[in-house]
A and B are shown apart, each in its own frame.
Chain A
Amino acid sequence: MDIELQQVGYAYSKGTPFEKQALTDVNLHIPSGSYQAIIGHTGSGKSTLLQHLNALLKPTEGTVKLGDLEIQAKKKVKNLKPVRQKIGIVFQFPEHQLFDETVLKDIMFGPLNFGVPADEAERRARALVEQLGLPEEVLEKSPFDLSGGQMRRVAIAGVLAMEPSVLVLDEPTAGLDPRGRQEIMELFHRLYVEKGLTIILVTHSMEDAARYANRVAIMHEGRCVLSGEPEEIFGDELSLAAYRLSAPRVVRLQRRFETLLGYPLDKLCLSEEQLAFEMGTIVRKERDF
């Protein structure tokens, strides 16, 4: 499913004395199957943008296209519910949405709401619990009896159970310890590769975006100011600095080497492993020289 935002604007409390413009003239195209990172400081409009992606908010200006569904400002659109099954959002601290008596029931909640038969919903729940590395016993427990990390996985399972084709992730690693962060990001990467999902990662982490995404958009004060491939965006330190962002640490280290070497590397390294490899190659060339 392709997602497109055309000149999208959004104002909170429109028409009241408290009107506040959160998004202005946002243009963004997210092709099906891409891993899109959306980066920006708190207050850049990321969360507002995110809520347009499954029609929780309707734009006050412009048009949002979610696959075949077109949502135009000022036009009434009925039947927004089905699109929420195809575009799943994992909100920040998703464990806060758990409520049901058992983990199984909570995970089944989403699919049941969209008319999935109970036995199919249960099958999905069981499969997901395994996929997400949770022990089977967890299914019969109350979600509130689990550890924080487990609760988060249950919440994620609850969204995945709807079998969306697009997965929107809002700071999925917030509050996790380093191991937890790595496991969650690797999990989503696996899903991306194995299931061909479209992933939209809203994050503060330049490093995560560099490592996993194949498209990057930068939000600043309600506008989408930069958009393109990671190599373009992360290589342009001047533009990033203008928006009070710094390039990923790997890129900054690469630049320091390039200064010493006197020439740029073949490509922009977007992960530690990549940079180590490139440096290894250069060092060997130098040795053989």
Chain B
Amino acid sequence: MMEKMIFGRYIPGDSFIHKLDPRSKLIFVFLFIAVVFLANNAVTYALLLAFTLLTVFFSRIRLYFLINGLKPIIFLLVFTFLLHLFFTKEGDLLWKWQFIEVYEEGLRQGIFISVRFMVLVFITSILTLTTSPISITDGMEVLLNPFKRFKLPVHELALMMSISLRFIPTLMDETDKIMKAQMARGSDISSGTMKERLKAVVPLLIPLFVSAFKRAEDLAVAMEVRGYRGGEGRTRYRQLKWDWRDYMVLVLLAVVAVVLWWLRS
């Protein structure tokens, strides 16, 4: 039984950020990535960081989860920091030991780049932590709707996405069951040579695939019987509501962008 609730790492809640329409959150993140590059001095980076932490505060997500989100890129973060620290040779010399030199500009750049990384990770994490995968799919579907005229099968993609999401926990349970059944017959993925272990994956994958195909077939029949004929003429049960909060958040971002532009050197 794999009790991993954190697919997409969504944590239910009712903070201000949770209540935002997924579209505004998606647009915000998209624009934020551009806004980040407006900062280029201590004041602007400080402002950026403050704004990010404010967003974190309003999401009421525990810092623990955000720090966890940094883990995958911690190496990259530290590496880039050190790279700038030791190889940007401008400004005053701050510290020297044998052939290692640290210059003022190196330290500044190192810190700036690190803040930039952190801020990007935090904001995108807030997106996935406060928005359920299905909401994100809904948001994307509506935002991409205009592209239908360019033959992008928006509805079909969104439906595929939502059905896949719905089946993930079910498939995980099934994987567990099949694995146990094969282990009971002496199959062992966790020991033996690489070759043996790869071979042991076959009795796990084939039943999963076979069952997945059967599911797809059954599901298609069920959908047809319930009147599914493609996206034409369908109405939506899950409605998205854009309200003052969403406007406010984007206006705020615009304000921050303007201030950054004004304060940058």
Q: Which residues of A contact B (CB under 8 A)?
A: 12-13, 16, 18, 20, 51, 54, 56, 81, 84-85, 88-89, 91, 94, 96-100, 109-110, 113-114, 144, 158-159, 162
Residues of B contacting A113 in the complex (Cβ-Cβ under 8 angstroms): 185-188
Tally chain B residues at the interface, Cβ within 8 Å: 21
- Asked if residues B184 and A109 are in contact (CB atoms below 8 Å), the reply is no
User: Which of these, B174, B184, B210, contacts A56 with CB under 8 Å?
Assistant: B184
Residues of A contacting B181 in the complex (Cβ-Cβ under 8 angstroms): 89, 91, 94, 96-97
15 sampled A-B residue pairs with Cβ under 8 A: A12-B1, A16-B3, A18-B3, A56-B180, A84-B183, A84-B186, A97-B207, A99-B203, A99-B207, A100-B203, A109-B185, A109-B203, A113-B186, A113-B187, A114-B186
- Asked if residues B202 and A84 are in contact (CB atoms below 8 Å), the reply is no
Residues of A contacting B3 in the complex (Cβ-Cβ under 8 angstroms): 12-13, 16, 18, 20
- Asked if residues A51 and B180 are in contact (CB atoms below 8 Å), the reply is yes
CB distance from B208 to the nearest CB of A (A): 9
Bound form: Cα–Cα A110–B188 in Å: 11
CB distance from B62 to the nearest CB of A (A): 12
Apart from the given pairs A56-B184, A99-B202, A110-B186, 11 other A-B contacts in the complex at a CB distance below 8 Å: A51-B180, A81-B188, A84-B183, A84-B184, A84-B186, A91-B177, A91-B184, A96-B181, A100-B203, A113-B186, A159-B185
Bound form: Cα–Cα A158–B186 in Å: 11
Asked if B182 CB lies within 8 Å of chain A CBs, one says yes
Q: Which residues of B contact A (CB under 8 A)?
A: 1, 3, 5, 174, 177-178, 180-188, 202-203, 206-207, 210-211
Bound form: Cα–Cα A56–B182 in Å: 11
Bound form: Cα–Cα A12–B211 in Å: 26
- Asked if residues A158 and B207 are in contact (CB atoms below 8 Å), the reply is no
CB distance from B174 to the nearest CB of A (A): 8
Residues of A contacting B183 in the complex (Cβ-Cβ under 8 angstroms): 56, 84
Residues of A contacting B184 in the complex (Cβ-Cβ under 8 angstroms): 54, 56, 84, 88-89, 91, 159
Residues of A contacting B174 in the complex (Cβ-Cβ under 8 angstroms): 96
Bound form: Cα–Cα A97–B188 in Å: 15
Residues of B contacting A159 in the complex (Cβ-Cβ under 8 angstroms): 184-185
